[in-house]
Amino acid sequence: MTGMLIGYARVSTAHQDVTAQRAALHALGVAPERVYVDQGLSGATRKRPGLTTALAACRPGDTLVVTKLDRLARSLPDARDISAELVAREVALSLGGTVHDPADPVGRLLFNVLGMVAEFERDLLRARTREGMAIARDKGRLNGRPPKLTPAQERHLADVHAAGTHTVAELAGLFDVGRATVYRALDRARARL
């Protein structure tokens, strides 16, 4: 590997820790001050400030280092975009220590195959989550978010609205909820009549 090593780490939620990825990047030779991180951002979204900064830090001959491809891209289009940017910047990619040159036909093929695998994993996770939610809903364990207003508050809101003294926006302010919540509460009150 020639040039500098630029590291990138990402975790999907704010609760997750990047310590393991930082340690792995350090073991791969990346200096701690050259590690860029996105915390609480999905790999499916392309707008990641840490990734943007990491790519901007790369110069021709440098190598972008990630521990696994799914930390970098979770869809084939995203993997292709990043690959195109790496090629344009003349930057190699190191996945867990194995260096791939996205400009090389074999490197590009491997990168695309790995991108398809990452997208496939993400689709499987999404399908399993939907399946689990459907089972929970069928068993009555998934009822959604609880209402912001208690039934007594909803009745009071409906009474005030029926009196015609306040607009929906004013009711939203009085009850410290959004207008959509007011409309839902009014719909539920009408359904009870």
Residue 41 amino acid letter: L
Sign of CA dihedral 52, 56, 60, 61: negative
Q: Is 64 helix (H, G, I), strand (E, B) or coil?
A: strand
Q: Would you say 48 and 71 are in contact if contact means Cβ atoms under 8 Å apart?
A: no
Q: 5-124 belongs to which homologous superfamily? A: Resolvase, N-terminal catalytic domain (3.40.50.1390)
- Determine the residue type at 82: I
- pTM of structure: 0.60
User: Tens-of-pLDDT digits for all 193 residues of the chain?
Assistant: 468 999 999 888 777 888 899 999 999 999 999 999 988 776 566 688 899 999 999 999 999 999 987 788 777 777 778 888 888 888 888 988 888 777 778 877 877 777 777 778 778 888 888 888 888 888 877 777 778 898 899 999 999 999 999 999 999 999 999 999 999 999 988 888 7
Confidence (pLDDT) at 27 = 93
CA distance readout (Å), 3 to 58, 94, 105, 184: 9, 13, 22, 59
- Helix 76-89 and helix 49-57, axial crossing angle in degrees, nearest 10: 30
Name the active-site residue from 12, 42, 75, 94: 12
In three-state secondary structure terms, 87 is: helix
Is there a contact between 51 and 36 (Cβ–Cβ < 8 Å)?
A: yes
Q: What is the pLDDT of residue 54?
A: 93
Confidence (pLDDT) at 2: 62
Assess whether 94 carries a catalytic annotation: no
Write down the pLDDT at residue 1.
47
